[in-house]
Amino acid sequence: MQFNKFILLLAIISPLFSFSQKAPSIIPKPNSIVLNNGMFTIDKNTGIQFADKTLKPTAVYLSDCIKHISGISLTQNAGAKKLIAFVIDKSIAKEGYQLNITEKGITIKASSPTGIFYGIQSLLQTLPAIRTNAPLTVQAMQITDQPRFQWRGMHLDVSRHFFSIEIIKEYLDLMASYKLNTFHWHLTDGGGWRLEIKQYPKLTEQAAWRVDAWGKPWSWYELAFNADKNRSTYGGYYTQEQAKEVVAYAAKLHITVVPEIEMPGHSEEVMAAYPQLSCHSIFHFGQSGDFFASKMEGNFCAGNDSSFTFIQDVLTEVMAIFPSNYIHIGGDEVEKESWKTCAKCQLRIKNEGLKNEEELQSYFIKRIEKFVLAKDRKIIGWDEILEGGLAPTATVMSWRGEKGGVEAAKMKHFVVMTPGSPCYFDHYQAGPEGEPQAIGGFNSLMKVYNYEPIPKELNEEESKFVLGAQGNVWTEYIATAEHLEYMVLPRMPALAEVLWSSKEQRNWDDFNSRLQNHFVAFEQKGLHYCAGNYTVNIVPNTVDGKLLVTLNSEAWNGKIFYTTHGEEPTAQSMPYTQPILIDSSIELKAVVVVNGRVMGLKAARQIFTFHQAMGSEVKYTFPVSDYYKGDGPNTLTDGIRGTAIIGKNWHGFSGKDMVATIDMGSQKSIHKISVGFLQAYNRWIFLPSSVTIEVSNDGVNFTTIQAINNPISTSELQVFYDFTCSFASRSAHYIRVTAKNTNCPEGHPGAGKAAWIFADEIIVE
């Protein structure tokens, strides 16, 4: 089902409200709600009163909302028998509001129309979701509220898959109903250019269209790169008038639209239309969305002044459309190989006194920043803009974990936190069995809700530079409105509460309880959403050298039952009441039961392979990647073997060797050690070139048991391999494993660059 074409002023608002003395199910949760006796009913005798003329659009908005769910037209008449009053009170915090409902009327106070608008959103969430002709009766209450963060955003990639203006507006409606205020519109990327630029017509005549196999998963290996224009089958773009229409629509919802124009990388579509802007002017048109297509000139040539002329011309037209303070200039994943072999780029490096291509990227960003600042705007970019030196006034959007955000905040630059975990809503949120195909990853509703945007590495003063956070929706696998709805609901309201409500107010169980009424509203509105992650989460923890497993579920009012010998669990199996000690090899299965019914498609399952080092502490000479931490620091001794799901149960190392030292707690007699690794060619993950195993009794002096060379070809696409050594029994307290990292092989898109090492378990017998 497509979104309702009627303006969805109430898209997700208005979960059903019980008229008992129970707090309403408002999301985000207000800072303070005081329930009082009595009710107020909105009816045909109700009018809207306001003295400040700037509040007229807000009054029209509320009137339209009420008419949509009831047929009642509210008058703008101070003489009405019953009043909803809007009052400007400059003493109230920015974006904050006070909502007072009595038996006689409703008053919303705020310091600006924006605060009044947010008060309306809370009011609407106490009313029916659809027209039922029931009385619009709300309980008397007082709400005092204000947001925690100023940047409360959602992103949408329209390059990989195009979405109509109607769907964009509906997306904005969803955002507004949860008091989100920033829409990051990802308008350009290798998948297609999506905005009319009058000075460069080929951007919409050619670069907005690509060869595409509709119905197939997004794949940069299946679709032809060198394709003829006449074969282009997929695309679309927004005219400048349409884009202005979106900006105006968003403004009525108190949402700022921040446009993103990608540079200097992720620009394959630009080079398809204007190849003279690339380093080597390879003429091609085909667009496969190939992330490695930068090898085929996906970058702007940083040594060519024509590149900057083009970008400045484009940004001039962009800034005439979008009045936002920020212009997003991308800056991520710049493949610099073309710059290394480009005479113009190398001459630029020499003439500007730059050290390398990283500093060339910084030069590029700083030059664009200077232009944007001259237009009285500011730039924001992905955290790669830190490389080679951060532009003086740039704001950083931290997506590769929080490291970039922390670095920028410590430099006193503003930051928007949007780490892939948990802020990428294109990742799985449940299952993945039974879920629509996603790009990978796993960001469940609870994981999103438990996110804290202020990194622990920042002190109080540095924390002030964190503007807020946003959820990102990349659309490689999201091609329809239905799928888009499903991926953002209910993670969008969860993130909204993280960004609006005070940290002390947030409580998962309370949020989950309130969310149930929103699910009812989703059903009534015909919105697609994920009802929940019913898979039991199996979490191993090391405590005093022992492995304990905890089980938890996000299911509301769910109870967990489990078995330990591979049997399918039911509501009659062992109930989970406390952590489970793993002292032998077992096959653990668990299900969540709600109201006597087993939920989910199948039981969660985990095989634990017991061995002598299970539960032992592990220390690393080089840190584990922030992206691939498995289930914690003891991933290599938790008894769990890795699977083909990248990122789960694996420890990842990039550009560094894995040097892991295990403390088994005491001397033990051992005779065999094996270490498991993964090779996934297309993910830049390769087996180590060699693995050396050493033992020690004092943790200082180690004896080498064996150095094992890798026997597997680097051309194998996917391999699970154990480096194993057997030896005469001997006593050992410590074990050290050194896995030598390597580079991606010749013929690989990353040839010569550091590969990843993925390790899952060190099994000691």
Of these residues, 266, 328, 413, 427, which one is catalytic? 266
Give dist(CA 147, CA 591) in Å, integer. 38
For 543-600, the pLDDT digits (tens) are 888 889 999 999 999 999 999 999 999 999 999 999 999 999 999 999 999 989 998 8
Given this model, what pLDDT does residue 140 score?
97
Other beta carbons within 10 Å of 166: 15
- Which tokens is 191 given? 């998948």
Give dist(CA 295, CA 220) in Å, integer. 13
Q: What is the DSSP string of 547-600?
A: EEEEEE--STT-EEEEESBSPPP-TTSEEP-SPEEE-S-EEEEEEEEETTEE-S
pLDDT at 355 over 80: yes
Give dist(CA 193, CA 183) in Å, integer. 18
Contact 41, 128 (CB under 8 A): no
333 is catalytic: yes
| CATH class of the domain defined by 151-525 | alpha beta
What percentage of the chain reaches a pLDDT higher than 90?
A: 74
Q: Per DSSP, which regions of 18-130 are E strands?
A: 32-42, 46-50, 82-88, 97-101, 105-110
Q: Where are the domains of the chain?
A: 32-145, 151-525, 537-608, 617-764
Q: Which residues pair with 721 in a beta bridge?
A: 677
Q: Which residues pair with 594 in a beta bridge?
A: 597
β-pairing verdict for 32-42 and 136-145: antiparallel
Give dist(CA 537, CA 539) in Å, integer. 6
CATH T-level assignment (fold) for domain 32-145? Chitobiase; domain 2 (3.30.379)
Instruction: For the chain, state the CA radius of gyration.
Output: 28
For 148-168, the pLDDT digits (tens) are 999 999 999 999 999 999 999
Which CATH architecture best describes the domain 537-608? Answer: Sandwich (2.60)
3-state SS, residue 67: helix
Give dist(CA 634, CA 632) in Å, integer. 6
Which CATH architecture best describes the domain 617-764? Answer: Sandwich (2.60)
pTM of model > 0.75? yes
Single-letter amino acid code for the residue at 670: I
The number of C-alpha atoms within 13 Å of 431 and in the hemisphere containing its C-beta is 15
Most confident range, picked from 9-23, 105-119, 213-227, 267-281 = 105-119
Other beta carbons within 10 Å of 221: 8
For 531-547, the pLDDT digits (tens) are 988 989 888 888 888 88
Burial of 471 (0-12, 13-18, 19+ CB in 10 A): buried
Q: Per DSSP, which regions of 399-439 are E strands?
A: 415-417
CA dihedral 573, 579, 584, 590 (to 10 degrees): 40
Average pLDDT over residues 522-535: 93
Of these residues, 64, 245, 333, 510, which one is catalytic? 333
- 87-to-108, 112, 432, 611 alpha-carbon distances in Å: 6, 9, 49, 69
Give dist(CA 492, CA 183) in Å, integer. 12
For 289-317, the pLDDT digits (tens) are 333 333 456 899 999 999 999 999 999 99
Given this model, what pLDDT does residue 213 score?
59
| C-alpha angle 454-455-458 in degrees, rounded to nearest 5 | 95
pLDDT at 629 over 80: no
189 is catalytic: yes
Given this model, what pLDDT does residue 600 score?
84
Q: Using alpha carbons, select from 543, 608, 538 the residue that is nearest to residue 760.
A: 608
Of these residues, 95, 170, 173, 189, which one is catalytic? 189
Which of the pair, 18 or 104, is modelled with greater confidence? 104
461 is catalytic: no
